[in-house]
Amino acid sequence: MLAIIVSGTTPGWILAAPLVVYGLGLGLASAQLTGTVLRDVPVGVSGQASATQSTVRQIGSALGTAFAGAALSISLSFTLPEALRTAGISGEAADQIATLTRQSAGTNIAQLRADGSSGPLGDQTAAAVEALASGFADGTRWSMLVAAVFLMLGLVGAVRLRHIAGRAEGKPQNVGEAP
């Protein structure tokens, strides 16, 4: 949803609202997920199972952050220079400002806006700020789409795992096995 609505002029509260809902849902689901994972685990190994589940969750969070951050950085290396070129701003100063924007995760856009025409781009500063904001939004969109792909892969994996577990529960037991 955010990949669709993000733009260089999207107000922050519009981006924050779905993220708050997502965060609340994730927080509420986390405890339930642990309970679900441990439901069928024997008490004697529940500590190991809980630790394994927690470790996998932490690794998944770290990898997700790394992939999203890498996708953002890579996409910004393409979208920022292109946005500046589209705005008619090129040359060494444009390359430097695009690199600085990528490295600062966009925080320099506010500084350029505050500097106005006295900044390093002079009269082109307003056009550069607009172009950088647009390019940053495009890069953010790509990062969100990468995250969405990984979420979809997780959904497919979870559905597949549930399907496999359902088949395992429904198959006949061997003689001598406890029900």
Q: Give me the domain span that covers residue 121.
A: 65-159
CA distances from 74 to 91, 101, 132, 136, 176 (A): 21, 13, 15, 11, 58
Within a domain: 136: yes
DSSP at 124? G
Please enumerate in sequence order all residues whose Cβ is within 8 A of that of 73, keeping only pairs 6 or more positions apart, or say none. 102
How far, in Å, CA of 89 to CA of 133, rounded?
A: 14
pLDDT digits (tens, 9 = 90+) for 156-165: 988 898 888 7
- Is residue 171 pLDDT above 90, yes or no? no
Highest average pLDDT, of 3-7, 41-45, 74-78, comes from 74-78
- Is residue 75 pLDDT above 60, yes or no? yes
Within a domain: 174: no
- Is residue 35 pLDDT above 90, yes or no? no
pLDDT digits (tens, 9 = 90+) for 77-121: 999 999 999 999 888 888 898 999 999 988 888 888 888 877 777
Within a domain: 102: yes
pTM: 0.75
Within a domain: 179: no
Q: What is the pLDDT of residue 170?
A: 66
Question: In total, how many domains does the chain have?
Answer: 1
Which residue, 65, 103, 87, 68, is CA-closest to 135? 87
Within a domain: 42: no
Within a domain: 74: yes
